[in-house]
């Protein structure tokens, strides 16, 4: 579509005007809504931009006209116009001298805002990345840099791209110690937690979510949501001493009892076995990446539940055959053996395995979480000495009962005690 005839006529007059043309273009921009129409507004603004850039009116005048142009574009409050005109103008600016960085930054922000409103988060992140932040010709504070980079991170996280988001998180780490804006610091910490969550570093993510839930800057509803995320991540983390400590901190949080996840949190903290119905209900509240399939074909949740139930079984049994353990965990004997071996090797379970007899012996000690620390030492005659100790304890109790009877009922004992 061609520009409005009134705008074309006004541009012709501006281009032929003698002397300084900057004020003429600024006056035209001030009246553009009266000269233009909704159907031709985009073409009208593009034509105006082409005109004043083509007139070579000088850097100072161009900067002033460009500022008025951006203000006029923003005043239309039309997201489609912001994107189309703004993107085209940024393309023109890319071939201009680096004297219009402020206008470029403002246009990038305007176009990115339009993309965010339309939920085109990837396009918003890309256009925000074009904002000049390191130029010597434009003084930018660390807080202003942080504001842009935090927006980029949040947009990348909206499209599940934690790798790209982490690039800007690493940039933020170098300046956040100089930024004292509470909202920016909160968004930075929350973004860190979301990236760790997306990368399946669930223990670290849980700790960060839990720390954020204590922030006085968030409302009660947000505090509960963040605490719920902390619980979900802790439950999805690999079973072991580190997760047990995380579960303990969350279980003792006075807000946790208000959440739907508290029931499964309590069972995990107390090392109780989980039923499939409880697991399925918990899975309904998880995000897609938290239900992703791992390299062995199982989901992150299924793997976490199997490892938890294995840890719970170690509290119930001193030994168990792999076939019976597999039945308890919902696995075949080979998978049960493989899972047990891995947890022992990684120091998340204390025990020893007899592969010839197909049995695992659980030790009473606590795993440290250090690799190789879960292997229980095989002490000769250990089980026999334990049996002897139990028999000795039982005999002592029987003797104590007999002595008590002799004191209370000597005649009965004399008549009935068999020596």
Task: Select from 126, 149, 141, 152 the least CA-distant residue to 179.
Answer: 141
Collapse the DSSP code of 379 into the 3-class scheme (helix H, G, I; strand E, B; otherwise coil) and give the result. Answer: coil
- Are 32 and 45 contacting, i.e. CB atoms less than 8 angstroms apart? yes
CATH code of the domain covering residue 362: 1.10.10.10
Q: pTM to 2 decimals?
A: 0.78
Q: Token pair of 36, please? A: 């233009």
Domains of the chain: total: 2
Using the Cα atoms of residue 249, residue 250, residue 254 and residue 257 in order, give the sign of their dihedral.
negative
Domain boundary among 81, 105, 136: 136
Render pLDDT for 376-416 as a digit per residue (tens, 0 to 9): 554 445 566 677 778 888 888 888 888 888 888 888 877 87
Q: Is residue 62 part of a domain?
A: yes
Residue range of the domain that includes 26: 1-136
Domain boundary among 89, 104, 136: 136
> How far apart, in Å, do the first and last CA atoms of the chain sit?
116
Confidence at residue 291, expressed as pLDDT on a 0 to 100 scale: 86
Average pLDDT, the chain: 88
pLDDT reading at 296 higher than 70: yes
Q: Is residue 373 part of a domain?
A: yes
Residue 365 structure tokens: 């000690």
The reply to whether 405 falls in a domain is yes
Q: Domain boundary residue among 136, 163, 185?
A: 136
What mean pLDDT comes out for the span 112-132?
Answer: 95
For residues 155 and 165, what is the distance between their CA atoms, to the nearest angstrom? 8
**Neighbouring residues of 315: CB distance < 8 A, sequence distance ≥ 6:** 271
Residue 247 in 3-state DSSP?
Answer: helix
> If we measure between CA atoms, which residue out of 268, 259, 263, 258 comes closest to residue 234?
268
Give the separation between CA 248 and CA 217, rounded to whole angstroms.
25
Tokens for 202, please give them: 């669930």
User: Is residue 241 included in any domain, yes or no?
Assistant: no
pLDDT surpasses 60 at 189: yes
| Nearest residue to 230 (alpha-carbon basis) of 254, 212, 257 | 212
List CB contacts of 34: < 8 A, sequence separation 6 or more.
none
Handedness of CA 53, 55, 60, 66 (dihedral sign): negative
The pLDDT value given to residue 372: 52
C-alpha distances in Å from residue 152, one per residue of 119, 164, 178: 13, 9, 19
Cross-strand pairs, 354: 359
Mean pLDDT of 160-167: 94
Residue 29 placed within a domain: yes
Beta-carbon count within 10 A of 67 CB: 16
pLDDT tens digits, one per residue of 55-86? 877 888 888 999 999 999 999 989 999 999 99
The percentage of the chain sitting over the pLDDT mark of 90, rounded to a whole number, equals 49
Is 109 inside any structural domain? yes
The residue written with tokens 């009134």 in the block is: 6
Q: What is the pLDDT of residues 169-188, one digit of tens each?
A: 999 999 999 999 999 999 99
Domain for residue 128, yes or no?
A: yes
Yes or no: say if 176 and 150 are a contact pair by the CB < 8 Å rule.
no
Residue 321 has pLDDT above 90, yes or no: yes
- 2-60 pLDDT tens trace: 888 888 888 888 888 887 888 888 899 998 888 888 888 999 899 999 888 888 778 88
Instruction: Provide φ and ψ at 414, rounded to 5°.
Output: -65, -35
Task: Flag whether 203 is in a domain.
Answer: no
Q: From the centroid of its chain, how far is CA 168? A: 15
Looking at residue 15, what is its pLDDT? Answer: 85
Query: Which residues are paired to 361 by β-bridges?
Result: 319, 352
pLDDT of res. 380: 43
Structure tokens at 143: 């807080």
Enter the tokens of residue 91.
């393309």
Widest distance between CA atoms in the chain: 136
- pLDDT (0 to 100) of residue 419: 55
3-state percent helix, strand, coil for the chain, nearest multiple of 5: 65, 5, 30
Burial of 266 (0-12, 13-18, 19+ CB in 10 A): middle
């Amino acid at each position: 579509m061609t520009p409005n005839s009134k705008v074309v006529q006004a541009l012709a007059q501006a281009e032929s005007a003698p002397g300084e043309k900057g004020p003429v273009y600024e006056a035209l921009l001030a009246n553009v809504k009266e000269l233009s129409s909704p159907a031709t507004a985009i073409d009208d603004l593009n034509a105006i931009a082409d005109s004043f850039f083509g007139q070579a009116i000088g850097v100072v005048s161009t900067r002033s006209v460009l500022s008025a142009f951006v203000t006029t574009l923003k005043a239309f409050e039309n997201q489609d116009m912001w994107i189309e005109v703004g993107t085209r103008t940024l393309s023109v600016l890319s071939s201009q001298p680096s004297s219009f960085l402020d206008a470029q930054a403002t246009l990038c922000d305007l176009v990115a805002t339009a993309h965010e409103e339309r939920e085109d988060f990837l396009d918003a992140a890309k256009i925000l990345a074009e904002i000049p932040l390191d130029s010597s010709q434009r003084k930018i504070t660390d807080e202003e840099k942080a504001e842009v980079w935090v927006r980029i991170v949040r947009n990348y996280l909206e499209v599940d791209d934690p790798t790209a988001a982490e690039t800007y998180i690493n940039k933020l780490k170098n300046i956040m110690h100089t930024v004292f804006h509470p909202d920016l610091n909160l968004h930075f910490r929350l973004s860190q937690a979301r990236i760790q969550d997306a990368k399946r570093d669930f223990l670290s993510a849980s700790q960060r979510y839990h720390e954020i839930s204590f922030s006085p800057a968030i409302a009660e509803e947000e505090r509960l949501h963040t605490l719920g995320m902390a619980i979900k991540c802790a439950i999805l983390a690999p079973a072991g001493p580190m997760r047990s400590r995380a579960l303990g901190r969350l279980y003792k949080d006075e807000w946790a009892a208000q959440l739907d996840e508290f029931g499964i949190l309590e069972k995990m903290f107390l090392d109780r076995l989980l039923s499939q119905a409880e697991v399925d209900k918990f899975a309904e509240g998880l995000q897609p990446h938290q239900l992703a399939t791992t390299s062995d074909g199982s989901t992150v949740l299924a793997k976490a539940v199997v490892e938890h139930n294995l840890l719970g079984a170690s509290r119930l049994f001193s030994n168990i055959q792999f076939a019976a353990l597999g039945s308890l965990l919902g696995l075949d004997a080979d998978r049960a053996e493989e899972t047990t071996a891995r947890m022992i090797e990684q120091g998340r379970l204390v025990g020893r395995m007899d592969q010839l007899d197909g049995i695992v012996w659980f030790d009473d000690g606590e795993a440290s979480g250090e690799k190789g620390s879960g292997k229980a030492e095989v002490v000769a005659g250990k089980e026999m000495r334990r049996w002897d100790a139990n028999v000795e304890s039982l005999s002592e109790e029987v003797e104590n009962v007999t002595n008590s009877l002799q004191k209370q009922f000597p005649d009965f004992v004399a008549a009935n005690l068999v020596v």
